[in-house]
A and B are shown apart, each in its own frame.
Chain A
Amino acid sequence: MQIYNIKLKNNIILGSSKYPSPNIFLKCVKNIKTEMITVALRKIGDKPEKFYKTLAKTNCKILPNTAGCFNVKEAVNTALMCRDIFETDFIKLEVIENEKNLAPSVKGTIKASETLIKLGFKVLPYATDDLKFAKRLVEVGCKVVMPWGSPIGTGQGLVNIKKLKLIRKSLPDTTLIIDAGIGRVSHACQVIELGYDGILLNSAVALSKNPPKFAESIYNGVNSTIESIKAGPISVSKKAIASTSSKGIPFRK
């Protein structure tokens, strides 16, 4: 999928949080074959270099986030701090409005996107499934938009398929990634079937009972879906159409 000036072979971006151990995280990265990993910034602990070194072992591109920011100023300054450490212009922009369902702030996300793009960032904004919101993000210069499937960490999957379809149809040239809400392999497959470019997930893998196995399953599911689309699935019909020939049915004239 196209992320601004780079093309990723894999359609999956993986979060780096909540894994049972750094080794299990690294196994998941390998099994899901991701090329891009999301990370955060937090106040320094005892060994600030420790996680940095784990990240280096992945050989993946880093997508820092602004998780936990509730206004434009916090988000912009966090993005600047991310760029200072990771030396990347990519930023996963989160400006949260509602602490309960972690819904993004429409105004805040648009304003912060606009500001960051002017500062040379390549912004990947976390959005809802609202078309107007997504369109405004594109208007201010976002080449990638990341609507939620459902609220972060819920694993509910894609709760509003009609709205997500409408965004895809209305923004054919924008890279669309479903960020948040993925819980099962089938959800990830659905994202691809809707014509979305990719998936960003974390909790679904990290909190599963066997994260490396789940990561592998997500990769296999997504790639089977891509291959099946290439193979050309049948059109949907409102009417039932018998598979077996109606000629020569026994006991009929």
Chain B
Amino acid sequence: MHRTEKNLHPILSLVFSLFLFVSGLLFVKEKWFLIYILTFLIILLIFRFGGTILKIMPLILIFGSLMALITTINGSRWDVLYSFYRVFALVPAITLSMSIKPVHLVRSFNQIKVPHWISLGFLIVIRFVRIFLDEIRQIRQAIILRGIRFTETPVLWGRAFFIPLIIRVLSISENLAVSLETRAFSTEVEGTAYETITFEKRNYIFAIMSSTCLAVYIYLFIGGEL
């Protein structure tokens, strides 16, 4: 059994990340938008997400400023502000989704009976993005060593890049498939969970707090008054 400790339950994080993403973008033009963001930042700080918020904040500020700068070309003062807010609105959603550990998410998927092949494929994508990053680096180094330049001979560069890459994709996937089959993985057999991800008390508290706050802001958004 696995306790989520600092992180929330992966499915809960994913669901609220989606809600906050959508609501953040919807509320951008409201007068109380900053209070809305502040509310969820406080909730996330209470649940010890301060470190993650600090990590993503510089990127959000740079990206938001860039978006605002682009909007200055043909947008009004308000458009500039809203385009910055649109990026800023993503902070709570990104904080939650970044806290999800892929392995825990896959195990939670298995617990809620998501087909085994979906969670397996998802895990392979996450794992192999890193592996192929190194493969691509190696292929590009080999191309440089052979003196092939994209600007001079683009067709040759394409061949030298794509063919070895696809060959690697084929051989890696072949080996991985054999390895999985010998471990009795199948698309037809239902898998069992290696460890159970539990839904702890702090998850209920987070769900209640966030849902209540979100309900209040949705009420305000549809024209209600406090």
Query: Are A and B interaction partners?
Result: no
Q: List A residues at the B interface (Cβ < 8 Å).
A: none
Q: List B residues at the A interface (Cβ < 8 Å).
A: none
